[in-house]
Structure 1
Amino acid sequence: MRRWGEKAVVFTHYRPIKIILQRAITERFAIWPHVINGESSQRVETANQFNASQGFDMLILSRRGDGLGLNVTGANHVIRYTRWWNPAQGKQATHRVHRIGQ
């Protein structure tokens, strides 16, 4: 992904895991990934910054509260770091990135 300047959205539903992932990504790739932690005033702005960014980038959010109503089609890849027990919920998270017809 980095070599080709592509972006990824990482889904997890545990806030402590978001922090761990943010630190690991920063350490490994020398970037500061965007993180959405449920603050409604910042959600759309953070998603828009991610979509508008050029080159390799990552966005970390949860499928439930953080991702509701967000457009994150700027990403090429979806990483479901922690899986839901219901496969349909995982698919819904993936569809936030790969929106057909948009």
Structure 2
Amino acid sequence: MTCPICGYADKRNRLDKETFKCRRCGFTFNAQFVACLNLFSRSNDGRVAIRGGRLILISRKAAPVVAVNVAPDEPPKRNEVTEGEARASY
């Protein structure tokens, strides 16, 4: 399984059905969620990063940075437009 943070691929990264731990960078997370992060990266040409202890997804298409483990207090407003793309504002 490929690490969504550093890109290192090794089937031994998946310790068991539930646990992923990268043998290169040490990133540890739920294995099912890591699979979803890898699909996001491949299908959207996006990136996955950790900032301030939060896992975030960064889309190639001017999308907002979205923390996947924190819900906003209010739903995003779709009123800002940048380069023809709708951007959420919080």
TM-score for the superposition, normalised by structure 2: 0.31
State the structure with bigger RCO (CA 8 A, min sep 6), 1 or 2. Answer: 1
TM-score for the superposition, normalised by structure 1: 0.28
Q: Which has the higher strand share?
A: 2
Max radius of gyration: which structure?
2
Q: Which has the higher helix share?
A: 1
